[in-house]
Amino acid sequence: MKNFVTGLITFRREPWETLAVVIIALGVLMLLQPISMTLYTYSFITTLIGTVMFIIVTKFPE
């Protein structure tokens, strides 16, 4: 966990990629759930933010 936080602070690729993938997965889960219209409403923007974040993060140093 300490390495993950250190990687986020120092802008290393691996922890940021992990965070971006988690955000994308969260957006997809929000899209597929049948319970809340609010979650469904924000699912596209959440997935989009995760995707853009992933594209940017792939430029970070390893």
Residue-wise pLDDT for 22-57, tens only, equals 999 999 999 999 999 999 999 999 999 999 999 999
Q: Which letter does DSSP use for residue 20 in this model? A: H
Task: Output the pLDDT for position 61.
Answer: 80
For residue 62, tell me if it sits in a domain.
Answer: no
For residue 12, tell me if it sits in a domain.
Answer: yes
Q: Work out the angle between the directed axes of helices 13-32 and 37-57 (0-180°, nearest 10).
A: 160
For residue 38, tell me if it sits in a domain.
Answer: yes
Residue 33, C-beta contacts closer than 8 angstroms, at least 6 positions apart? 39, 40
Range of the domain at 11: 2-57
For residue 30, tell me if it sits in a domain.
Answer: yes
For residue 8, tell me if it sits in a domain.
Answer: yes
| Four-residue CA torsion sign, 24, 28, 33, 36 | positive
Task: Output the pLDDT for position 9.
Answer: 79
Counted domains in the chain: 1
Q: Work out the angle between the directed axes of helices 2-9 and 13-32 (0-180°, nearest 10).
A: 100
For residue 21, tell me if it sits in a domain.
Answer: yes
Task: Output the pLDDT for position 51.
Answer: 97
Task: Output the pLDDT for position 60.
Answer: 82
